[in-house]
Amino acid sequence: MIDFGTLHLPDAEPAALQASEWTDWPLHGWMLVVSALILLLILPEIYKLLPAMAGCLTRSRGNLEVEHSISVARSRGNIARILALIFVVVADRYRIYDPSFIADWDEPWLRFAELAGVLAAFLLLRYLVHAILLSLGRKHLHPESRAAVQHGLYNYFICFILTLLPSVCLFSIFNPDDILMRQLIWAELALFWLVALVREGQILQSNYGGFLNFLYLCGLEIIPAGALVASGLFF
């Protein structure tokens, strides 16, 4: 006689179900609440930065103008650091960076800490590469141009977050699949990173030739970004 009384369930839950359980952790709920409160508190400062950020999007000289004003540059740096923490929450929610060494951790605070650590490691690598490459060669950049090349990415990161948060909130109304949300976030991130790359290249172009400019961009931006992507794909 055939026994139909036993139902064998899969050992692991479907990925979509696992993703839906993100909000079941109380800590995640508190992260969202704290992120929303912080965002409300810094909105006036962000509003003051909007003209400068818009200038960075439309022309490379906008980055130089940000560095020319000490108060604007300081405010930009502070806002970028705060928005980076909010971005880590979004990255954790939609698992846009989910290598195996992070996926193995189930505790929410450990995942958040590791994602923040990866972001900090990327920024440190980028800082070291900039410090080394921009010190080489006979022809050095003007201090403002050097600062614009080093810190310009933060301007576009702020623009990216200001685009990301409304789009995530809007799409969330339709309850889309997490895969679609990840694709949306990666597309927006890639777009603003490419704009940053173009503006940085325009600043370098004033001091270096075309081929040398390309080599500098590869070392300054493409290699650190490539290392980040490779760590997510192969580790």
Is 49 buried (19+), middle (13-18) or exposed (0-12) by CB count in 10 A? buried
Task: Give the distance from CA 179 to its chain's centroid.
Answer: 18
**Does the residue 5 lie in any domain?**
no
Overall pTM surpassing 0.85 (yes/no):
no
Range of the domain at 91: 23-234
Per-residue pLDDT of the chain (235 residues; tens, 9 = 90+): 444 444 344 444 434 334 447 766 777 788 889 999 999 999 999 999 999 999 999 999 999 999 999 999 999 999 999 999 999 999 888 888 776 666 555 676 777 888 888 889 888 988 888 888 777 755 667 788 888 988 999 999 999 999 999 999 898 888 888 889 999 999 999 999 999 999 988 888 877 766 677 777 777 788 888 888 777 666 6
* Residue 3 φ/ψ region, left for φ over 0, alpha for ψ in the -120 to 50 degree band, beta for the rest: beta
Q: How many independent structural domains does the chain possess?
A: 1
**Does the residue 121 lie in any domain?**
yes
**Does the residue 14 lie in any domain?**
no
**Does the residue 101 lie in any domain?**
yes
Q: Dihedral of CA 186/188/194/197: which sign?
A: negative
**Does the residue 11 lie in any domain?**
no
